[in-house]
Structure 1
């Protein structure tokens, strides 16, 4: 049902477009036309026999915003600009756009072009629409063509289709993320809430306070980087240059909240769609707090070959691009173990150096920590990768966090600093250019972002998206579920997934597995390996008053070790055998006394333990062939998302008085024994400690139960 405001706006829009719609004497009832401006028209079709879709006719000198999620096909006309990417007309290519309320809406505008071939004809319009849509009526084509004739000759005809995805539906069933794709219909097209709900997206005009903003400095930076890359690959025609030169490298730095991720995606999209020298680019991500292509606590190297049209958690849902190499640091800030962080930096950068020639150009993403140790680590990163350009984002005086601005990171400034281990840099050679980019980030009251998600929530969202995507097609205890069936609440789905049974020790001959051993839980590792196969275990500097050394507890018993791993997030890694040693406990197990700098194969949820059999039950979506690389389990400081504990699918009786409910893994700290950890408090969740008693009533029944 339309609100009074929507109804008024609909009348105003129809009046503005009256000269257009009045000529459509045979316009069907399932057709809605909005004219948002002189050079922007939205035609929405809601056929009874198929899904709704919208056709956007875009002229020059106008930008519009898209909210929600959609599939975009550029049918005809001039190229368009989306988040730095130049998208040309091609009915064979479908772009998936994600514009949640947690980030600024996607801005789309037409690129100016002098090519006469961009003119739209009715015959070409009929042909291209028929190539994409299964059913096209002559009336539909007439309506679109009539709208094109009312505008300037150079227009872009864009087709927006609904995007149905069970992965995004599953993520949005979590209480904190229910409104990720909620669309406000005020001043948007279509204005009818029912139509917007069926589409899953809406459009509105762009203004100074909304959308993704692009500065001239950002464009100049991208153009300069593309020019360096083109010159580099042209020079590779000579054999001497091939052996001596290295690809151009761009390092992005700046304080927290300055827009480093946005600038990174802008340069990636511009390079892949405008620069013609290479069809791929490598991204080295040193930000363990909020990385672009992995969950938190990982340093990664990723090769990107397609434009990015969504925030980081979307990359996890789509499953691309996949990291070429990743190393588990186990924390969201290097301050927990800076030496281990630096070692992991060198390891992942070494993987880039070992790539075959010709290597792709390199983009480096850094942390937002710009003071003290953070500045020292940034200096070490510049020394390590030797960038050609340092793109330095600077906050203005009226923006929050201006005191966190970096000094200009040119050669003179760097030589006056101290490097890692107080190294003297006065004689160090620096040949990079510094590009100072004014930050376009808005303060909270100026931002168009409608979400109150903080950094911890974004980390939870990315990790949740990782497990939803990797476990979407995992074997479950529900044999009737098909590969395309809805997943439901992610926590309920994870509990349905069959875990892998992984040994940490050889059980005593006289002991047997406890009753919770599930015969359906299988491990490819135990089936393919020798009988004495055991995974090594590493606990990365656990913050606990129970012990000073991480492995003092390993001299106690295996059960204590298993307790420390139960209901936690662990990394499955390819740990070199020389870093492992066998304990003299009974039963023995393998431990990794030093934090291992090695390849991380993927992440897993420690679902349950069996102390008598020395078994872990791990839920992971890592492919079986990759699991064969795993030799060790690493537990860091990163916890599972809070919804894993607070939204467990426990039946709640609707009759009688509300009673306290004992959720698994939550309770008073003194009752849980060794291995307990604390869950950080959040504004949207009750103040809860891992294993703390959680009270709720029948009115708070979980919808997925």
Structure 2
């Protein structure tokens, strides 16, 4: 590849830069660096590998070619090396693209409808020798216009944020990114992370978007330290947070105060040792805007990056003056505050700053606003947005569950064939976060549910039998997630599948059940299922209190996704035993 040449593709590949230098989603990859797995999924904008200019060594052309040939010797046979060197010229880059296999990708592709996320079916009338070669790697060339196109305002914002992060005295600006849905905030964040990692060893990331999380399953507020580039959609790069709280729902519309408290709790773990990127929700109208103003005041960012588009209803410019002069949901405007500096002593107590800063309240002195004009071509519309978002949440949950399986090349194991942990009733406290459930039905709600594995400060070991029920939802650390795949009433045990390491599980003493659902694929599409499938039914009483949520698309809506897109099944899935009685039976359900 010769600058400014680019290669836009869909699919997955492992890329090694054998000679020269290239850029992918803002991350620079040079010769000698480790290979990078690149995920250009059909669910997101196609990625482009761009050749970039690099400084030439003071050597003759003959010496440069000899060096390049030596680098190829361990990768190519003599005939292929000769072909490459015939096309070689100074300032070009030589890339090795290889097929890559991973447990996560194999697990996702094993479910019906998900195998085409990465590589779409080829048109037989347009198959060329290039298509066959690229297909053997696992990729397909796409038109350049399908790749990411950054606007001038986007590039200017990125340049300023990278500059201030690398050149400031402390080098730790706090950058809050906001705007309506589907304007490119997440793509901007990935690009910014990758550009920062070109110059500094790590970047901190505060996830405040419950519905479309970047590094964790949905429903979480988390703080992460990112040290590796992100070269794909969220479900290809799940990471373990430094601190995480399971809110339990993809939206906070009915409990703003708890959301704010959790954000403050997670933010308290930020040590100001690296730049911080804050991702916010795409809900920015009415109460969502007031909540965003609260977040700006409470988190005191150095920069606010505000996305706007001619295709969507835009926010007012969130300048320091605008934020100061308007009430939020829980914070007051400058004119109504007792002190013009917006002091929040209660927040200062929760933040662990340097010793000399602890004695005084946190002072919020404003931010610099960077406006970004988005010109993304939207795949989502008001009709199919919910379907897309549900699919993305399902993919994140499936990617997390893939961590249960052994690494390739071992064959995939069905989840129902894995050995679960046995957890005594009296070892954990239980809480359903999103709905009121009668104590007599709590085990039905837990069974076959997605669980947040948490630790609370209270000692739960004083109870002899259990189950132990919490009256309120605690704000507590979440170490990971699992599935309750069965309950043994005779031995009073929960059977839980989770990829969390045993040393972390020893501290877990609380199980939280939220509104995040286990994807229907887990119930319907595991290998080896025969006969009646447990926990699945289409005969469902929707009048049952506390059980109104449905998995899948409503029959009345029949959203039409673009050709080739994933389409949710219009079926209703529910736990069989939860439907059946008003009385509590002796046993909720066996393992499934």
TM-score (norm: length of structure 1)? 0.70
How far apart are 1:541 and its partner, in Å? 3.1
Is the contact between residue 564 and residue 676 of structure 1 (CA under 8 Å) also seen in structure 2? Answer: no
Two-structure CA RMSD over aligned residues (Å)? 2.9
* CA offsets 1:455-484 (integer angstroms, 9 cap, x no match): 100100011001112x013xxxxxxxx974
2:298 matches 1:384: yes
Is the contact between residue 517 and residue 551 of structure 2 (CA under 8 Å) also seen in structure 1? Answer: no
Aligned to 1:308: 230
Aligned to 1:112: 53
How far apart are 1:117 and its partner, in Å? 5.5
Is the contact between residue 74 and residue 157 of structure 1 (CA under 8 Å) also seen in structure 2? Answer: yes
Q: 1:686 aligns with which of 565, 570, 581?
A: 570
Inter-CA distance 677–615: structure 2 relative to 1 (3 Å threshold): farther
Report the 3-state secondary structure (helix = DSSP H, G, I; strand = E; otherwise coil) of the residue aligned with 1:437: strand
**Matched ranges for 1:518-667 at <5 A:** 534-542=427-435, 549-550=436-437, 553-554=438-439, 556=440, 560-577=441-458, 587-649=465-527, 663-667=534-538
Is the contact between residue 148 and residue 155 of structure 1 (CA under 8 Å) also seen in structure 2? Answer: yes
Inter-CA distance 331–605: structure 2 relative to 1 (3 Å threshold): same
Q: 1:206 aligns with which of 122, 126, 144?
A: 144
Report the 3-state secondary structure (helix = DSSP H, G, I; strand = E; otherwise coil) of the residue aligned with 1:175: coil
2:425 matches 1:504: yes
Query: What is the count of residue pairs matched by the alignment?
Result: 532
Q: Which moved more, 1:193-202 or 1:333-342?
A: 193-202
- Tell me, in whole angstroms, the C-alpha distance in 2 between the residues paired with 1:501 and 1:494: 16
Is the contact between residue 65 and residue 205 of structure 1 (CA under 8 Å) also seen in structure 2? Answer: yes
Q: 1:365 aligns with which of 255, 261, 279?
A: 279
- Tell me, in whole angstroms, the C-alpha distance in 1 between the residues paired with 2:386 and 2:515: 25
Is the contact between residue 69 and residue 96 of structure 1 (CA under 8 Å) also seen in structure 2? Answer: yes
Is the contact between residue 581 and residue 592 of structure 1 (CA under 8 Å) also seen in structure 2? Answer: no
Report the 3-state secondary structure (helix = DSSP H, G, I; strand = E; otherwise coil) of the residue aligned with 1:600: strand
Is the contact between residue 222 and residue 271 of structure 1 (CA under 8 Å) also seen in structure 2? Answer: no
Is the contact between residue 393 and residue 439 of structure 1 (CA under 8 Å) also seen in structure 2? Answer: yes
How far apart are 1:125 and its partner, in Å? 2.0
Aligned to 1:456: 390
Aligned to 1:163: 100
Inter-CA distance 691–537: structure 2 relative to 1 (3 Å threshold): closer
Report the 3-state secondary structure (helix = DSSP H, G, I; strand = E; otherwise coil) of the residue aligned with 2:136: helix
Aligned to 2:269: 351
Is the contact between residue 677 and residue 690 of structure 1 (CA under 8 Å) also seen in structure 2? Answer: no
Inter-CA distance 74–116: structure 2 relative to 1 (3 Å threshold): same
Aligned to 2:252: 334
Inter-CA distance 189–222: structure 2 relative to 1 (3 Å threshold): farther
- Tell me, in whole angstroms, the C-alpha distance in 2 between the residues paired with 1:369 and 1:496: 41
Aligned to 2:13: 70
- Tell me, in whole angstroms, the C-alpha distance in 1 between the residues paired with 2:279 and 2:575: 36
- Tell me, in whole angstroms, the C-alpha distance in 1 between the residues paired with 2:543 and 2:285: 39
* CA offsets 1:423-480 (integer angstroms, 9 cap, x no match): 334344542111111113103399xxxx9961100100011001112x013xxxxxxx
Aligned to 1:250: 175
Aligned to 1:126: 69
- Tell me, in whole angstroms, the C-alpha distance in 2 between the residues paired with 1:597 and 1:590: 17
**Matched ranges for 1:142-157 at <5 A:** 142-149=82-89, 153-157=90-94
Q: 1:226 aligns with which of 143, 147, 162?
A: 162
Report the 3-state secondary structure (helix = DSSP H, G, I; strand = E; otherwise coil) of the residue aligned with 1:645: helix
Is the contact between residue 415 and residue 526 of structure 2 (CA under 8 Å) also seen in structure 1? Answer: no
Q: Which has the higher contact order (CA 8 A, sep 6+)?
A: 2
Inter-CA distance 161–188: structure 2 relative to 1 (3 Å threshold): farther
* CA offsets 1:204-252 (integer angstroms, 9 cap, x no match): 4513xx10112232222222122222333xx35xxxxxxxxx8211111
Is the contact between residue 248 and residue 434 of structure 2 (CA under 8 Å) also seen in structure 1? Answer: no
Aligned to 2:588: none
Is the contact between residue 535 and residue 574 of structure 2 (CA under 8 Å) also seen in structure 1? Answer: no
2:241 matches 1:323: yes
* CA offsets 1:66-97 (integer angstroms, 9 cap, x no match): 221111111112x222111122222x411111
Inter-CA distance 674–646: structure 2 relative to 1 (3 Å threshold): farther
How far apart are 1:614 and its partner, in Å? 2.4
In the alignment, structure 2 segments of 5+ residues that lack a partner are: 343-363, 554-566, 578-592
How far apart are 1:625 and its partner, in Å? 0.2
How far apart are 1:594 and its partner, in Å? 1.6
- Tell me, in whole angstroms, the C-alpha distance in 2 between the residues paired with 1:299 and 1:94: 31
- Tell me, in whole angstroms, the C-alpha distance in 1 between the residues paired with 2:39 and 2:129: 20
How far apart are 1:646 and its partner, in Å? 2.9
**Matched ranges for 1:469-480 at <5 A:** 469=403, 471-473=404-406
* CA offsets 1:20-46 (integer angstroms, 9 cap, x no match): xxxxxxxxxxxxxxxxxxxxxxxxxxx
- Tell me, in whole angstroms, the C-alpha distance in 2 between the residues paired with 1:71 and 1:456: 29
- Tell me, in whole angstroms, the C-alpha distance in 2 between the residues paired with 1:380 and 1:674: 34
- Tell me, in whole angstroms, the C-alpha distance in 2 between the residues paired with 1:445 and 1:571: 30
2:214 matches 1:292: yes
Aligned to 2:556: none
2:115 matches 1:178: yes
Inter-CA distance 689–164: structure 2 relative to 1 (3 Å threshold): closer
Inter-CA distance 581–414: structure 2 relative to 1 (3 Å threshold): farther
Aligned to 1:272: 197
Is the contact between residue 71 and residue 161 of structure 1 (CA under 8 Å) also seen in structure 2? Answer: yes
Is the contact between residue 183 and residue 201 of structure 1 (CA under 8 Å) also seen in structure 2? Answer: no
Is the contact between residue 568 and residue 640 of structure 1 (CA under 8 Å) also seen in structure 2? Answer: yes
Report the 3-state secondary structure (helix = DSSP H, G, I; strand = E; otherwise coil) of the residue aligned with 1:465: helix
- Tell me, in whole angstroms, the C-alpha distance in 1 between the residues paired with 2:166 and 2:133: 46
Report the 3-state secondary structure (helix = DSSP H, G, I; strand = E; otherwise coil) of the residue aligned with 2:221: strand
How far apart are 1:597 and its partner, in Å? 0.7
Is the contact between residue 565 and residue 635 of structure 1 (CA under 8 Å) also seen in structure 2? Answer: yes
Report the 3-state secondary structure (helix = DSSP H, G, I; strand = E; otherwise coil) of the residue aligned with 2:237: helix
Inter-CA distance 128–483: structure 2 relative to 1 (3 Å threshold): closer
- Tell me, in whole angstroms, the C-alpha distance in 2 between the residues paired with 1:160 and 1:652: 41
Report the 3-state secondary structure (helix = DSSP H, G, I; strand = E; otherwise coil) of the residue aligned with 2:73: helix
Aligned to 1:418: 327
Aligned to 1:94: 35
TM-score (norm: length of structure 2)? 0.83
Report the 3-state secondary structure (helix = DSSP H, G, I; strand = E; otherwise coil) of the residue aligned with 1:573: strand
Inter-CA distance 462–501: structure 2 relative to 1 (3 Å threshold): same
Report the 3-state secondary structure (helix = DSSP H, G, I; strand = E; otherwise coil) of the residue aligned with 1:343: helix
How far apart are 1:675 and its partner, in Å? 7.2
How far apart are 1:649 and its partner, in Å? 4.6
